[in-house]
A and B are shown apart, each in its own frame.
Chain A
């Protein structure tokens, strides 16, 4: 089974609205990362939050981490049509050698103009 599971699997919103997606994981982590994938492209790193952090901001992105619940959320504020993409969470575990990440199944976000 996957370490990270995103919820919901798909999300459709109007431009200007906020989009929230969640990620749950099973084992202790070193950090959790969010990536975006536009259709037909490779994944692009968005933001990293370490296990000792609770919240992080980057532009219109806000990430929270609750290690007691083993969950994270990604909030995109004031969404734009260009935010249409799939979003993946990825966990970096302490046992991992090098920088191995375990990716979830992703949330497909559609922002309608």
Chain B
């Protein structure tokens, strides 16, 4: 299995631009998580989906952030408009709760820099 796939791996953009991050979870996993990691705030859960349905989006910073999961093999995290304080590493993770496996598998992350 290829593991969790994220794209792009690096993104540099200017303030005000739209940014779209993509994630392909491990095949067969039914939960997907979006995290943000910074030195100041550590690892924060932004939103997670279970069976393609958003369960908890309380970590989404504000209306500029949105996430979708149109099917079991794809999710996007969009920031519009982007701001310099959004600069961080964004991780996607997936897990399978059907077999009572409770570990999460992380992708390599997307490093976002907003100038």
Binding site for B on A (CB under 8 A): 2, 30-31, 33, 41-45, 48, 88, 90, 92, 97-106
Q: Does B109 sit at the interface, judged by CB under 8 A?
A: yes
Q: Contact check: which of A41, A44, A102 meets B45 at CB < 8 Å? A: A102
Across the interface, which residues of B come within 8 angstroms of A102, CB to CB?
45
Name the CB-closest residue of A to B109. Answer: A42
In the assembled complex, the Cα of A80 lies from the Cα of B103 at a distance in Å of: 25
Interface residues of B, count at CB 8 A: 23
Q: Contact check: which of A42, A44, A88, A98 meets B97 at CB < 8 Å? A: A98
Across the interface, which residues of B come within 8 angstroms of A88, CB to CB?
43
Assess whether A48 is in contact with B56, with CB atoms less than 8 Å apart.
no
Q: Does B13 sit at the interface, judged by CB under 8 A?
A: no
User: Could you tell me which residues of chain B, from 52 to 75, have a CB within 8 Å of some CB in chain A?
Assistant: 55-56
Q: Does B76 sit at the interface, judged by CB under 8 A?
A: no
In the assembled complex, the Cα of A105 lies from the Cα of B41 at a distance in Å of: 8
Across the interface, which residues of B come within 8 angstroms of A99, CB to CB?
31, 95, 97, 101-104
